[in-house]
Amino acid sequence: MRIVSSETMKSLDQRTIQELGLPSLVLMERAALGVLTALREHFPQALQAVQILVGTGNNGGDGLALARMLHGQGVPVKVWLSDRSAKRSPDNGKQQEMVEKLNIPCFWLEEVTDWQNQMAQASLIVDSLFGVGLSRAITGPWAEVMTYLNGLAVPVVAVDIPSGIEADTGMPLGDLALRAELTVTCGLPKWGLLMDPALDYVGQLEMVDIGIPPAYAAQVAGGHLLDLPLAASLAPPPRRRNSHKGSYGRLLIVAGSLGMSGAAAIAAEAALRSGAGLVYVYVPASIQAQVAIQVPQALVFPLPEQDGKVCLEALAHLAEPLKSAKAVLVGPGLGQGEATTAFVSALLKQISQPLVLDADGLNHLALAPQPFQSPTVITPHAGELARLLGSSTAEIQNNRLLALHQGAKQFNCTHILKGARSLIGTQDGRCWVNTSGNPALARGGSGDVLAGLLAGLLAQGYPPEAAALLGVYWHGLAADLAALELPAACLSLKELLGCLPAALARLQAGG
């Protein structure tokens, strides 16, 4: 599914109205019907005393149409309106006339002194105050209402977008937005709905078809959702009966340092579970035995070290292994230091195979930038990308989409920007937003699992883009399956790794 900006969504609405001849009021009716369907699916027990917050634009018109539909089905509903003198959109005005003719209870917020007591009696709040066109902080009475409702134990459902969220960046305007348990967005998802920190306000996200022709949507610029059907289409087929270990690639991993043997072991285990046929792990000599014990299926070799970390002397030991490798992973747990930076810089010049550069590998690249010699996937989180781009973590988080494109273009690679909704971008400007995963991944070592998965897929012949899409979704799906059995806060990397096979089985089954 395409992800679009607020302006693109408006243009699609207008094209549908003008070229297809579908009246704007029909689009509004379809939006309201989609929200009604979602309410009945997710909150059937809460349809007892519904209160709808209505703004003056078409978003408010959606809410008024919903009020009429709920009333027609016998659901008690109350409508809260803004200033009587405020200018309303034409369709909003038409919907308000219909609501008034049906004698649905409507209240003007500025004229009610005990609105807090009345709202506290709601079984469900619907937010149709401010839509995707909002560009300023919300102030005045509605700001007071939003602050109050954010502390009230009543479920909130947002129509199209939670009020206060900037539609393209996901940032709360003026640091105030209404928190929803469910957001039902109209037409296509907007970028801001999928960006951190909007995730804490959007809740569960659903889309409702309002009549935009798929052909129109396919012709506009935008990103794509990385969802189960797309990931399933990339899943590897069942293995051939006459295959052998050499059929599934040789992966070379350079990782680990004294005190960080786990990173190398985790990445190796994930690579093996990805299906890679042979995994060679090169680590500082002082931790070779630790890694070998943790991952007995991998072949673990020692490298010269300095202060517990690999140094430039190790480069000669990798010359022959590199010749037979189908893919390379560099970075997990390598540690910092000038000697290791010199080693990584020299190693990158020798790698011609598909490469995953992760963790400390990225930090060394930031200290000694150079072009890649082969197709590469980089996997920074916001802090690592800030170092690569000479920026700050806050700047990256404030516009993750822009930062994604900058990283992919500057380093001419496939770029995975990790986060609550990981982004995948290519050097030619295409991008995807991952929809799998949960807070169970917010712990040290989960990135090593992802790096191992990605590298293992590259070793099996996946192109970087396909490996990134499949690996990121697979990684998140494993966390989702694990969280079905245990609270996210309690999940260990052992459980995450253990759920990779079940996640692959679901992908191979098509969902």
Domain-located, residue 240: no
Same domain as 336, residue 437: yes
Q: Domain containing 83 — which CATH number?
A: 3.40.50.10260
Report pTM.
0.92
Domain-located, residue 241: no
Task: Calculate the average pLDDT of the chain.
Answer: 96
- The position carrying tokens 């969220």 is 165
Domain-located, residue 470: yes
Tell me the CA distances in angstroms from 265 to 260, 282, 283, 421, 447, one per residue in order: 9, 11, 10, 26, 13
Same domain as 158, residue 293: no
Count of CA atoms in the C-beta half-sphere (13 A) of 34: 24
Q: Which domain holds residue 94?
A: 2-221
Domain-located, residue 203: yes
Percentage above 70 pLDDT, the chain: 100
Q: Domain containing 348 — which CATH number?
A: 3.40.1190.20
The domain tally of the chain equals 2
Same domain as 61, residue 15: yes
Same domain as 113, residue 216: yes
Same domain as 205, residue 275: no
Same domain as 212, residue 259: no
Q: What is the dihedral of CA 80, 85, 86, 91, to 10 degrees?
A: 80
Domain-located, residue 161: yes
**Which tokens is 106 given?**
């409507």
Q: Are 107 and 81 in contact (CB under 8 A)?
A: yes
Q: What is the structure's pLDDT at 429?
A: 95
Same domain as 291, residue 199: no
Q: What is the structure's pLDDT at 83?
A: 77
Same domain as 149, residue 271: no
Whether 445 shows a pLDDT value over 80: the answer reads yes
Q: What is the 3-state secondary structure (H, E, C) of 289-330?
A: HHHHHHCCCCEEEEECEECCEECHHHHHHHHHHHHHCCEEEE
Same domain as 197, residue 297: no
Pick the range with the lowest mean pLDDT from 51-60, 133-142, 239-248, 296-305. 239-248
Same domain as 289, residue 167: no
Domain boundary among 170, 188, 221: 221
Same domain as 286, residue 203: no
The 10s digit of each residue's pLDDT in 76-89 is 999 999 878 788 99
